[in-house]
């Protein structure tokens, strides 16, 4: 029987348990230079001390105008690499593995003067209307993802996650709602994502797995559903994605009938369906912070890993607490043994 604290191995990524820190923007780069600071180092190191198996560092962008805000992280120059290395080294010292979520916000880059996107369509009336990237600029964008991946590898990460969900750039390309292009990147909606995957993989050691976060469904009128998500994920799997992190939504304002449930594990069915359809490892996310529920999702093999978001904002020691509640063995830092 496997449970939340059974070790997990995917290629060279060896995790001591199945608890993953979900990527969560901190909006805390006061210098606006995209470089992680003290806050980020403490924030991520404390989750490593708290027993998290894999930490996925928040959305980290491939160019300055690819950030949601000027306070978000980036990996667009070699200057960034050493600050990320400090985070990775610290987390390793305390037993966690680390990935970085590489991204571009596209039309959802709120502080960019003129955001860029597949097509000149605004997210809604509160967002700026983006400029459509030229074909050559899309090709250059693929290169920016590649260079960001190279820097992540140089910083010592154990894996990379591509952000293909929540209405950010890769999602904008594969969604028919936001990609109305007529060039090669519009004729095949997965082409941009596929090229990014191949470029990023070319920078990663062969046995380092590539993760990709996708939205399994769009909660929007006319948006895609699980059937289409399985189709585009198949193309991404063939291009080199080793595991999908299955979330949902983000490509438009939620329409009332499309509103997701708010119950525990509300996105697990998307992860399970993708796993079954493509025979691919998956990570489930979304209101899984009740340890018994997270343990159940692993035990029933609906997902291979569990990403915890807000639960880990509330409690950096979520994994240690969960092990205690579930009566599982776990190495507690010697300094904290009395507390457990
Ligand atoms: C403050 C905050 C920031 C977030 N930033 C990101 C992000 O950078 N990348 C991402 O893919 N999801 C982001 N998310 C979504 C979370 O990773 C997660 O999918 C979501 O919170 C649902 O999981 P939970 O119910 O365990 O919180 C963010 C969520 C929160 C609360």
pLDDT digits (tens, 9 = 90+) for 286-340: 999 999 999 999 999 999 999 999 999 999 999 999 999 999 999 999 999 999 9
Query: 25 in ligand 1 pocket by Cβ < 6 Å?
Result: yes
**Rounded to the nearest 10 degrees, how much is the dihedral formed by the CA atoms of 230, 220, 261, 257?**
-130
Query: 287 in ligand 1 pocket by Cβ < 6 Å?
Result: yes
Residues in the chain: 340
171 is annotated as an active-site residue: no
**How far is ligand 1, taken at its centre, from the CA of residue 67, in Å?**
15
**How far is ligand 1, taken at its centre, from the CA of residue 19, in Å?**
15
By mean pLDDT, which of 57-66, 222-231, 248-257 is the weakest? Answer: 248-257
How are the residues of the chain apportioned to helix, strand and coil, as percentages rounded to the nearest 5? 40, 15, 45
Closest CA to 284 of 242, 312, 328, 248: 248
First to last CA, the chain: 25
Average confidence (pLDDT) over 56-81: 98
Output the CA–CA distances (angstroms, integers) from residue 115 to 103, 110, 111, 168, in the order listed: 14, 8, 8, 12
174 is annotated as an active-site residue: no
pLDDT digits (tens, 9 = 90+) for 104-118: 999 999 999 999 999
80 is annotated as an active-site residue: no
Contact indicator for 76, 35 with CB cutoff of 8 Å: no
- Residue-range domains of the chain with CATH: 8-339 (3.20.20.70)
Instruction: Give the nearest ligand 1 atom to 311 CA.
Output: 26
**How far is ligand 1, taken at its centre, from the CA of residue 187, in Å?**
31
Instruction: Give the nearest ligand 1 atom to 161 CA.
Output: 11
Query: 250 in ligand 1 pocket by Cβ < 6 Å?
Result: no
pTM above 0.85? Answer: yes
Contact indicator for 275, 236 with CB cutoff of 8 Å: no
What is the distance between the alpha carbons of residues 213 and 191, in angstroms, rounded to a whole number? 17
Query: 309 in ligand 1 pocket by Cβ < 6 Å?
Result: yes
What is the distance between the alpha carbons of residues 199 and 280, in angstroms, rounded to a whole number? 21
Query: 68 in ligand 1 pocket by Cβ < 6 Å?
Result: no
């Amino acid at each position: 029987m496997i449970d939340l604290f059974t070790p997990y191995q995917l290629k060279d990524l060896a995790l001591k348990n199945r608890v993953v820190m979900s990527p969560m923007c901190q909006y805390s780069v006061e210098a606006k230079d995209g470089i992680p600071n003290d806050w980020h180092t403490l924030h991520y190191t404390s989750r490593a001390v708290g027993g998290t198996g894999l930490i996925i560092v928040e959305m980290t962008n491939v160019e300055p105008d690819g950030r949601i805000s000027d306070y978000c992280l980036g990996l667009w120059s070699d200057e960034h690499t050493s600050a990320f290395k400090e985070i990775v080294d610290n987390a390793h010292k305390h037993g966690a593995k680390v990935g970085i979520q590489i991204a571009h916000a596209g039309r959802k880059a709120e502080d960019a003067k003129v955001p860029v996107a597949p097509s000149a369509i605004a997210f809604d009336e509160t967002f700026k209307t983006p400029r459509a990237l030229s074909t050559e600029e899309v090709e250059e964008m693929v290169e920016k993802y590649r260079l960001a991946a190279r820097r992540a590898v140089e910083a010592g990460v154990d894996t990379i996650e591509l952000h293909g969900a929540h209405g950010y750039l890769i999602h904008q390309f594969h969604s028919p709602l936001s990609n109305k292009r007529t060039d090669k990147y519009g004729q095949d909606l997965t082409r941009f994502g596929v090229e990014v995957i191949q470029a990023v993989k070319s920078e990663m050691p062969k046995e380092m797995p590539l993760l990709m976060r996708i939205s399994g469904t769009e909660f929007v009128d006319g948006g895609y559903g699980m059937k289409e998500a399985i189709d585009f994920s198949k193309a991404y799997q063939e291009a080199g994605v080793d595991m999908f992190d299955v979330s949902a939504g983000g490509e438009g304002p939620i329409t009332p009938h499309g509103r997701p449930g708010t119950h525990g594990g509300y996105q697990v069915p998307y992860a399970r369906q993708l796993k079954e359809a493509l025979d691919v490892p998956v990570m489930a996310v979304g209101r899984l912070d009740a340890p018994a529920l997270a343990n159940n999702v692993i035990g029933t093999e609906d997902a291979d890993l569990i990403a915890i978001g807000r639960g880990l904002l509330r409690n950096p020691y979520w994994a240690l607490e969960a092990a205690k509640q579930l009566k599982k063995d776990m190495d507690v830092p010697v300094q904290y043994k009395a507390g457990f």
